[in-house]
Amino acid sequence: MKTYYQERAPVYDRVYHYPERQNDLRFLEDFVARQFAGLNVLEIAAGTGYWTQFIARKAHTVLATDATREVLNQLEARELPASVATEVIDAFALNNLSQTFAGAFAGLWLSHVPKQSLRQFFSGLHNRLLPGARVTFIDNTAVQCQRLPITDEDKFGNTYQDRLLDNGITYKVLKNFPTREELLELVDTIAIEPQHTELDNFWLFTYRTTIVK
C-alpha cells in the first residue's frame, strides 16, 4: 500500500473533486476545524494534507505524519501555517513519538488497516494521547464501491479493490468498511461520548479518551 500511495501522491487529491462528495466534504471540513480548535493534534497517515489544511486553521499545532516522504512533500507544498510540522512515521509505530497530544485525527486510514491489526493500531495511538483527548476518524462509506468494486476477500475478512494508476499499473489495495458496532467495540474501554455519523459518502467517528493506560 505504501508504494501505491507513493505513486499516487501527485494525483491523490482527485478524490476530493468528485461531485457526489462535495456536500459531505464541506460539512466535514468545517467539523474538523472546530473539533481541534486550540489543541496540539497528531494526524496519522496525513497523506497530501487535504484534512491538515482545515485542522490547522484553528489547532494550536499539528504534527502531520505518514509512512512515506513523497506524500508529505505534497502536504508541505500547500500553504500551511507554521504551526504544522511533518514527520515520517509508521502508524503502527506511534510509540516512537516522544510527544503526547490532546487531539488525534486520521482521514481515510482505518479502512486500510487490516482487521487483525486494528487493536494494535488503537493501542499505539491511545498511548500517545492525553486523558480527555479528542479523537476523530473520517472514512468512506460503502458507496465508494460504486467507483471501485470489491474484487477479493482474505481469510480475515479484509476486502480488496483493484486500483489502476496513471502509470498503467493496477494495485490490489486493502479497503475495509468498518461498521459503527465494530468501531465502538474497538474503543469501548477508552472512549467516552463516542459518536458515529453516517453521511452519504463518508462516515465520521469521534470520541474523547478516558485515562490512558
Ligand X SMILES: C[S@@+](CC[C@H](N)C(=O)[O-])C[C@H]1O[C@@H](n2cnc3c(N)ncnc32)[C@H](O)[C@@H]1O
Q: Please give the residue ranges that form the binding site for ligand X (CB under 6 A).
A: 1-2, 5, 45-47, 50-51, 66-68, 71, 90-92, 107-109, 112
Q: Cite the DSSP H helix spans in the chain.
A: 2-8, 22-35, 52-55, 69-76, 118-127, 180-186
Nearest distance, CB of residue 208 and ligand X, angstroms: 21
**What distance in Å separates the CA atoms of residue 181 and residue 188, rounded to the nearest whole number?**
10
Nearest distance, CB of residue 210 and ligand X, angstroms: 25
In this structure, are residues 51 and 43 in contact, taking their beta carbons and an 8 Å threshold?
A: yes
Q: Which residues pair with 42 in a beta bridge?
A: 63, 104
In this complex, which beta carbon is closest to ligand X, that of residue 57 or of residue 112? 112
In this complex, which beta carbon is closest to ligand X, that of residue 173 or of residue 187? 173
**What distance in Å separates the CA atoms of residue 119 and residue 5, rounded to the nearest whole number?**
23
Nearest distance, CB of residue 99 and ligand X, angstroms: 17
Size (the chain), residues: 213
Closest residue to ligand X, based on beta-carbon distance: 47
Nearest distance, CB of residue 155 and ligand X, angstroms: 21
